[in-house]
Amino acid sequence: MSVHINLSTARVTAIGVRIPQTTQTVRDVAYTLSIPAQPVTHSVMVRPLIEPDEDTNSIRVRLDRWMAFNDELCIHLPLYLVDMATAVRAALDFEGDPGIGWRSGHDELERWAMTWLKQDESRVGGGW
């Protein structure tokens, strides 16, 4: 058995709100689900981690693991944070940093994330 998680599409509602979707495969059955997400900017949202569980044939929404992502480019920061507020803070700091962008390479994103974690920990006592 295999488990696959892919951010696959974004559905646009009648009023123009983008709702990201994911296709998850559990026990060889694919499910396309809307992802619970909170918009932060026009193209950036935060969302909880979603995990398939083959043992229970279920999909979990982890409210103790949040990430910031760009839904237009289907890219997320390489950070899993403990709550929505911390993920929003990371997203806003990332968007406000002129030295990095969503199209930066993986190594650059990783360096930015590690630096942000250290700075955030000293600023507010951490959130990861």
pLDDT tens for the chain, 128 residues long, are 344 444 445 555 555 666 777 787 877 888 887 888 888 998 899 999 888 877 887 788 899 999 999 988 889 999 999 999 999 999 999 999 999 999 999 999 999 999 999 998 888 765 55
- Answer left, alpha or beta for residue 35, where phi above 0 means left and psi between -120 and 50 means alpha: beta
Q: What is the pLDDT, as a whole number, of residue 9?
A: 52
Structural domain boundaries of the chain? 38-124
Half-sphere exposure in the Cβ direction for 70 (13 Å, CA): 13
The predicted structure's pLDDT at residue 106: 94
Q: Which pLDDT belongs to residue 24?
A: 77
Q: Measuring CA to CA, how many Å separate 43 from each of 20, 46, 84, 122?
A: 11, 10, 17, 28
What pLDDT is recorded for position 15?
Answer: 55
pTM of the model: 0.75
Give the pLDDT of residue 64: 93
Structure tokens of 8?
């696959």
Hey, how many other C-beta atoms are within 10 angstroms of the C-beta on 35? 17
pLDDT of 6: 45
